[in-house]
A and B are shown apart, each in its own frame.
Chain A
Amino acid sequence: MIAERHVNLALVLGLIVVPSWALAADEPFTITLATRAVILALAAVGLNIALGIGGLVSLGHAAFFGIGGYVMGILAYHAQTFTPLDLGAFSIAGTKAMPVIWLAAIVLSAFVAAVIGALSLRTSGVYFIMITLAFGQMFYYFAVSWRSYGGADGMSIYVRNSFPGLDTLVPIQFFALCLVLLGLVLYLNARLVRSRFGLALDAARQVPLRVRTVGLDPLRLKLAAFVLSGAVTGLAGALYADLNRFVSPAMFSWQFSGEIMVLVILGGTGRLFGPVLGAVVFVALEHFLGGLTDFWQIYLGIILLLIVLFARGGIIGLLCGKRGLHD
């Protein structure tokens, strides 16, 4: 067994070394791939707060990812066309500034997560899985029919949004930005796990009855986790939209919800770095298997299956053995 922190360290080093090498070797696409992995990891870290710590199996997290994406798309669209964004009572100008977009994405997805969570947490188990899926689908179909912003086709943002002091169109700079955000969120996540809230939430997942018996409301804890989770995934959505300079309803699809969940489980549910490892492995598999055969998804399926069947606890579980978040 390898200590979990060694795996984490290796992962962090890998995420720094590989893109640096790619920069030196003039392999910008490797950097793009790494950026994709980092952003997907961020989305999965978000889901992991609800799923891994809170025990909320949400099959609707694409809703938040999509909201983040569309916040970016809509704000940037209004900025690049110099049209105001009409919000009914008042209108605001679009923006191409990433920090503003991020903030808007976080706030809006947190708000939507609060609404969806409050309604969905009335249910549990499979019903929770399905009601979150239903909300995701509603957003999907809404985006498909939202003609002002491209409908099913989605919309392109021609120039990547800006961040003060950086040229975000340079792959390595955008990668660094995403990596820093991921690191920041992971740090906050690590603090959260050890905090009052983290302890209570973790107990609410394991024994909700106990949590009630000590005078806390597990549902409120879980709702808070769901909101945080949605906010992080929303941020990832805004970044993903910027990576592709494109948003489309596919960001809202249930398949994408499933994919983020796969990342979490693949790496190790509830582990701090589980989603990161899951995302890196997934992107790598997709890339390398795709080079081997047109039918690469068969092999991806087989690998996933083997991991579920024989490596409960994901890859980190396989490497490091069973252990909770606390150590």
Chain B
Amino acid sequence: MTEPVLETRNLSKRFGALTASDDISIDLRAGEIHAVIGPNGAGKTTLIHQICGELRPDAGEIRLLGQDVTRLGTAARARAGLGRTFQVSALAMEDTVLQNAVLGALGASGRPWGFWRPVLNDRALRTRAQEALHRVGLDEMMAAPCAALSHGQRRQLEVAVALTLQPRAFIMDEPMAGLGTEGSKRLTGLLDGLRAQAPILLVEHDMDAVFALADRISVLVYGRVIATGRVDEIRANPEVRQAYLGEDA
């Protein structure tokens, strides 16, 4: 088997008496959507923070494309190929949709030190941003201020910004949260098409979306991965049913 795109090895993180990550080893392979599910407080956000570099693990290792990135900061990991979306949108609300997307392209270019030429006139950056916006279906909204977007559109923009980075792996933190049925459906379609470009590590509460999209699922409970497997395996796993679905009901 080829090496996974992204991988955590024995990741551990404690906050005082609380073990937020307990020896987590998961991997993300090319072409797949790997969903991480778990009840509230299971440590999903802590896991994402460690993968993206906002939290440093107490022990364990994070590898991206075979390279150890455990010691790198958020920005360096982004440059190494992580494209991330946020649960609570992290967009420059005072800026327009296009500006937000151009920011992504600018980050990908790695050259923010231009002080003279207007960034929006930069053809390369603009094209890249427009393509991403087109991909998520926000072409019409390019000139709108970000603050005017609906909740669902902000999620789409999040994805578009991640797309501009042309990442090697997507990390998506609850992209469906707060979306209506219609929005969920649209985003599901969008993500479905993305996996060919880069695999997605998807942390999600919306079980319909998870079961519709995921190739594999890992179940996180109290900071531990209690099961990893294909959708049908997880559905059938009694431990999961008891620990997770039972509690959720």
Contact = CB atoms under 8 A, between A and B. Distances in A.
Contacts of B165: 214-215
Contacts of B103: 199-200, 203, 210-211, 214
A210 B106 contact: no
B118 A207 contact: no
B73 A324 contact: no
Interface in B81-126: 84, 86, 90-96, 99-100, 102-104, 106-108, 110-120, 122, 125
Interface stretch (A187-195, A234-242, A293-301): A187-195
A233 B20 CA distance: 48
B144 to A, nearest CB: 13
Contacts of B92: 202-203, 206-207, 210
B79 interface: yes
Contacts, number: 111
A113 to B, nearest CB: 16
B37 interface: no
Interface centre among B73, B104, B112, B115 (most CB of A within 10 A): B112
A206 B103 CA distance: 13
A326 B119 contact: no
B75 A215 contact: yes
Interface string B116-146: 1111101001000000000000000000000
A214 B161 contact: yes
B248 to A, nearest CB: 29
B78 A215 contact: yes
A262 to B, nearest CB: 23
A195 B115 contact: yes
Q: How large is the interface on A (under 10, 10 to 19, 20 to 34, 35 or more residues)?
A: 20 to 34
B52 interface: yes
Contact of A200 (B73, B78, B112): B112
Interface centre among A197, A198, A203 (most CB of B within 10 A): A203
A216 B107 contact: yes
A188 B110 CA distance: 23
Given A207-B90, A207-B92, A213 B84 contact: yes
B114 A196 contact: yes
A217 interface: yes
Contacts of A198: 115, 119
Contacts of B91: 207, 210
B25 interface: no
Contact of B112 (A196, A209, A324, A326): A196
B184 interface: no
Contacts of B116: 191, 195
B10 interface: no
A206 B102 CA distance: 15
A202 B94 contact: yes
A254 to B, nearest CB: 30
A194 B119 contact: yes
Interface of A: 188, 191-192, 194-200, 202-203, 206-207, 209-217, 221, 224, 324, 326
Interface of B: 52-54, 73-76, 78-79, 84, 86, 90-96, 99-100, 102-104, 106-108, 110-120, 122, 125, 161, 164-165
